Structure 1
Amino acid sequence: MAAQMPPGRPGNLTPEQEEKLKEMWAQTLDIFGVSRDEANSGIATPSSKRSESPDVKKKKSRLSMFRKKDKSGTAGEEDHNNMNGATTTSSTENDKHGQTKAYREALASHTPDELRDAFWSMTKHDHPDALLLRFLRARKWDVQAAMVMMISTGHWRVAEMHVDDDIMVKGEEQAWRDSRGGATGGAKKEGEDFMAQLRMGKSFFHGVDREGRPCCYVRVRLHRGGEQTEASLERFTVYLIETGRMMLRPPIDTATIVFDMTDFSMANMDYTPVKFMIKCFEANYPESLGSVLVYKAPWIFNAIWKVIRGWLDPVVASKVHFASNVEELQEWIPRGQIMKELGGDEEYEYSYIEPVEGENQQMLDTSRRDELLEERKGLVKYFENETVAWTQGEEADGRMRLAQRLTENYWQLDPYVRARSLYDRQGVLGPGGKLEIYPKKEKAETGTDDVD
């Protein structure tokens, strides 16, 4: 039976949730400098307002979301009394990862155009509504708290991790080149560390669970503290999460992580990358975890788990389950889809496929890339116009069609902005966004080569 769209997603919102989404879109476009008057006149991009100085434009667009509105809906004279805090009580309570500070830094250091670009870069193949809804659900439908979380995430992606302009665009091939002598010093070490983790299969995606969610397996016994630098561990973590995003298709919008604790010892325990992973999922990839399965944890892990559980948000902690044997693991993953190394029946064994010379050749075609980016820019403008109308109570059926066109545009753009990965070489990720979770398995089982 096909999976149904979970609640709180595009196409499955209560009237109250839809109003919250409209409110968040209004604030989002406001902070990006996309005003109602601009949209109604067909001018949707902040950069088009050449008559205003950058300082005036930044101040107006960034502060307007905190202004009190009068009965006519226009900004009143009491505007930014809350800017020193710039958050609601709810967002402050949810600020264990320092997102309020990051939010303020984002507003202080980025123009409206840059904030807007960061958002649309983060969207990728997702429905834009789906992205906002992740933050709303994570912040229990508190719009301003969700705004703080979303803007700070964009800042983290652009200014701290350089997700799209470094990690994903360079990908495995650049690390492969650096490790083979294409770089020196720290860059060579990071390339070697990155490739070592891929080759050993410390963590990798394979198959799906009973809910159809992609499974990421972490073989904890393969980690030794100090073998890889902290920077390379963080880069690998973000790379894996972002690559996993490429495997999500509605209504599936979360993944399952299986921590294989087979042969675990204290030599494998390293709290620093654990803390970074927690921060990623709680602060920067909200509502992305379907479940976390801890498999065959030895008794010495009990004390460690008490520490880790104390760091987790209660919602995230509730998704953590323990399985001591394959019979228990079957509650979440069918036995036929559990690898033999975990006690299941599946023949799959992880084996890394090395990058192929020239596999990212399309990235050199910058004219085609720019053509697709220009097309995307136009689609974004139309989507923003439709969204402004929608937030004002008008019918905006075109939003859904435009969201689909943005998805199609992304998959055309993908080979020009994302370096090929193991999962592209395996055939899991195909051209145009085609997804084959079990490409080799399905071919062998159905014997498609022999079918007339």
Structure 2
Amino acid sequence: MGKEYEIPNEPVPALPGYVGNLTDEQEQKLREIWQGYFDTCEKATGSKKGAQKQDLEALKNQKAEDDKAKADPKNSGIAKDDKAKDAAKEAEEAAALKALMDEYGGEALRDAYWKFVKGDSPDTAMLRFLRARKWDVSRALAMLCTCMKWRLDNDVEALQERGDAGNEQIPHFLEQQRSGKTYALGTAINEQPICYIHVRKHLTFGQPSSSMEKYVIYAMESFRLLMQPPNDKVVLMFDLTGFGLKNMDWNCILYIVKCLEAFYPESLGTLYIHNAPWIFKGIWMVLGPLLDPVVRSKVVFSSKATDIEGHIPPSRLIADLGGNVTTGFEFTEPQDGENDLLKNEGERKKRFDHFMELADEFEEVTRKWSKGGSAEDEEKRNLLVLKLRVAQFELEPYTRGTTVAHRQHIIDGQGIVKWRYEQKDGDTQIHVVGRRACAATLRREIAEVENGSSLKEAQEKSEKALEAKDWATLYGDEKTAQLVEGGKYGEVVAGTLDASDAAGAAAGAATGAAAGGAAAAATSNDDAAPAAAEPVTEEFKDAPEASAAHAESVPAVQPTKEQEAQAAVEPEPAPKPAATKAEAPADTPTKEKSGLGRRFSKLMSKVAA
């Protein structure tokens, strides 16, 4: 039997343009966008006061075939020229800002914004939009309002509130999770969570696009809980092993990219396209120019584990992609009663009101700070950021439905994420993320500040305790340390401390009642999605032409003779176990090409023209 041990965390410094590392000019831009936010809330004249409830019954009647007409990238309406894309975004965001103010009132905007912030620093949320729009305050504000309108129009909060069990009513929703096509497991060395997407397990017409869009939103909201300060980004690993044209879902990929660019800005660290077969080269020549240039700049092609080991070491990479992690994918089904706390409307209102009282305080002091303010105002803002994060942890069990990550005790609902990397040699590495900004640590810091310490002193104490692994000092006392870390820092101790105790761990830490996060654990190549007949439509018939010169910028997908042969035949529905690269079928292609070969040849002839 192998050893089980905890691995250390790498230091994650605050990057330029982030909270804690702003130039004077950037801080001034932050003050200005807060002023713009207050002004927009006051001027909004719409009558809608909340999110627009989605008709889930209508989704049940939508057929997957209804999406076929939209499966052509030509219908995306996205310009290939980056300047044209930027101009279109500017016009779209200006229109959305006006629509938000005309349709929704200031109360709805504030409600949407604070529900978007959740446990993050409110400044972190604002800075996302400022960086995304290159510190142009007017455009950043319009982008922020566009995002809030999208969240209200799509009732994003209801999706996460229902959790796995409640969203089962959406057609094919839980099938996406059970299939193991998408899940999170571990982090890169900079603590960015790794979200795997095994494209061969996704069939383009296996579900309505509306269901996939709901699933994408739910996954992105869930992945947010895996990001612990100061990190606020994820790594997306698109595994193209065994990829075929029946897996190329233009609607889904363009929606994911749209969400990353417009609705979850600055949330993407790196997007890996791993083990792409030769046929993807032509697809990339079509897809690449359609991507937002910022997203495109974060795309990295890789074909073997050594290509990415500087960012994701083998000890954190799943074995199917050439790493050493053998943890297998497992979807733990929803349990009866796991969302019972959502029914306690009285407690939910009490905790939400407390959160919004803190938000009111934060807005009040931020109005002063945005116009100059004092050192005292800044200190109060920083303390309120901690209080808001703790209040969100206390609120979440009553507003967020349970997901597989909580059922598997990966997320404790109080800010700590615990990953298990089972290794090929039998050892198991434990990787704990989030101790520095978890609820127990922040409660201790808040209590010390309110008892006369400066916030700087309380935070320095946390840093020293974390480095020394002095959990009793970090969390405030021995009882809390054992609740958070386990009995004498081993197995979890059953029990809770009252949330009002500044040093106590909230109930979710011990009971797992809080929810959020995404399916976590790696997958096995043995779990291939069942093969399905290819649709008769020719997905790439009218694909827009891409610049031939663009192909030169695509690494790791130069075709071999075997891969050229593979393009003329239907790929196998699943690769051989443990393969790290798709292999050409053994059969020699005949002169009579398959449907895939004919469509791909037509695509390549257009690209070469």
TM class by shorter chain equals 0.7 to 0.9
User: Do the aligned partners of 1:215 and 1:257 also contact (CA within 8 Å) in 2?
Assistant: yes
User: Do the aligned partners of 1:5 and 1:250 also contact (CA within 8 Å) in 2?
Assistant: no
2:396 is equivalent to residue 404 of structure 1: no
Q: Paired residue for 1:373, among 331, 349, 352?
A: 352
User: Do the aligned partners of 1:428 and 1:439 also contact (CA within 8 Å) in 2?
Assistant: no
Match of 1:162 in 2: 155
User: Do the aligned partners of 2:228 and 2:415 also contact (CA within 8 Å) in 1?
Assistant: no
Match of 1:127 in 2: 121
In 2, the alpha carbon distance for the partners of 1:449 and 1:120 equals 36
Give the C-alpha shift of residue 91 in structure 1.
Answer: 11
Match of 1:39 in 2: none
TM-score calculated relative to the size of structure 2: 0.61
Match of 1:435 in 2: 417
Decide whether aligned partners of structure 1 residues 387 and 95 sit closer, same or farther in structure 2, where only a CA change above 3 A counts: same
Q: Look up the equivalent residue of 1:226 and give its one-letter code.
A: F
User: Do the aligned partners of 1:97 and 1:279 also contact (CA within 8 Å) in 2?
Assistant: no
2:8 is equivalent to residue 15 of structure 1: no
User: Do the aligned partners of 1:423 and 1:429 also contact (CA within 8 Å) in 2?
Assistant: yes
2:345 is equivalent to residue 357 of structure 1: no
Q: Paired residue for 1:115, among 101, 109, 114?
A: 109
Match of 2:39 in 1: 30
Deviations 1:130-149 (Å, cap 9, x if unpaired)?
Answer: 00000000000000000110
3-state SS of 1:412 partner? helix
How many residues align? The count is 387
Decide whether aligned partners of structure 1 residues 132 and 90 sit closer, same or farther in structure 2, where only a CA change above 3 A counts: farther
User: Do the aligned partners of 1:295 and 1:329 also contact (CA within 8 Å) in 2?
Assistant: no
Q: Look up the equivalent residue of 1:144 and give its one-letter code.
A: S
User: Do the aligned partners of 1:97 and 1:283 also contact (CA within 8 Å) in 2?
Assistant: no
Give the C-alpha shift of residue 435 in structure 1.
Answer: 2.0
In 1, the alpha carbon distance for the partners of 2:357 and 2:19 equals 22
Structure 1 segment 178-189 matched on structure 2, within 5 A: 178=169, 187=170
Give the C-alpha shift of residue 292 in structure 1.
Answer: 0.4
Match of 1:289 in 2: 268
Q: Look up the equivalent residue of 2:264 and give its one-letter code.
A: Y
Structure 1 segment 216-255 matched on structure 2, within 5 A: 216-255=195-234
Q: Paired residue for 2:89, among 92, 95, 113?
A: 95
Decide whether aligned partners of structure 1 residues 285 and 445 sit closer, same or farther in structure 2, where only a CA change above 3 A counts: closer
Match of 2:436 in 1: none
Give the C-alpha shift of residue 439 in structure 1.
Answer: 8.4
Q: Paired residue for 1:382, among 361, 372, 382?
A: 361
Q: RMSD across aligned C-alpha pairs, in angstroms?
A: 2.6
3-state SS of 2:16 partner? coil
3-state SS of 1:207 partner? strand
Q: Look up the equivalent residue of 2:136 and give its one-letter code.
A: D
User: Do the aligned partners of 1:260 and 1:296 also contact (CA within 8 Å) in 2?
Assistant: yes
Q: Paired residue for 1:213, among 173, 189, 192?
A: 192
Match of 2:443 in 1: none
Decide whether aligned partners of structure 1 residues 323 and 440 sit closer, same or farther in structure 2, where only a CA change above 3 A counts: closer
Q: Paired residue for 2:11, among 2, 22, 33?
A: 2
3-state SS of 2:22 partner? coil
Give the C-alpha shift of residue 421 in structure 1.
Answer: 0.8
List, as ranges, runs of 4+ consecutive aligned residues in structure 1 with deviation greater than 4 Å: 89-92, 439-451
Structure with greater helix percent: 1
TM-score calculated relative to the size of structure 1: 0.81
3-state SS of 2:414 partner? helix
Give the C-alpha shift of residue 329 in structure 1.
Answer: 3.0
Deviations 1:264-308 (Å, cap 9, x if unpaired)?
Answer: 111111111111111101111100000001110001000111111
Give the gaps of 5 or more residues in structure 1: 35-45, 47-53, 59-88, 179-186
User: Do the aligned partners of 1:90 and 1:145 also contact (CA within 8 Å) in 2?
Assistant: no
Match of 1:73 in 2: none
Q: Look up the equivalent residue of 1:167 and give its one-letter code.
A: L
Deviations 1:366-386 (Å, cap 9, x if unpaired)?
Answer: 111111111112101110111
Decide whether aligned partners of structure 1 residues 367 and 91 sit closer, same or farther in structure 2, where only a CA change above 3 A counts: farther
Decide whether aligned partners of structure 1 residues 126 and 443 sit closer, same or farther in structure 2, where only a CA change above 3 A counts: farther
Q: Which structure has the higher relative contact order (CA within 8 Å, separation 6+)? A: 2
Give the gaps of 5 or more residues in structure 2: 1-9, 50-82, 431-485, 493-609
Deviations 1:132-184 (Å, cap 9, x if unpaired)?
Answer: 0000000000000001100010000011x2110x21111211134x3xxxxxx
Q: Look up the equivalent residue of 2:275 and give its one-letter code.
A: K
User: Do the aligned partners of 1:255 and 1:289 also contact (CA within 8 Å) in 2?
Assistant: yes
Give the C-alpha shift of residue 117 in structure 1.
Answer: 1.0
User: Do the aligned partners of 1:255 and 1:288 also contact (CA within 8 Å) in 2?
Assistant: yes
3-state SS of 1:95 partner? helix
Match of 1:80 in 2: none
Give the C-alpha shift of residue 354 in structure 1.
Answer: 0.6
2:183 is equivalent to residue 174 of structure 1: no
Match of 1:270 in 2: 249
Deviations 1:180-227 (Å, cap 9, x if unpaired)?
Answer: xxxxxxx5xx1xx11111001111111111221001000000111111
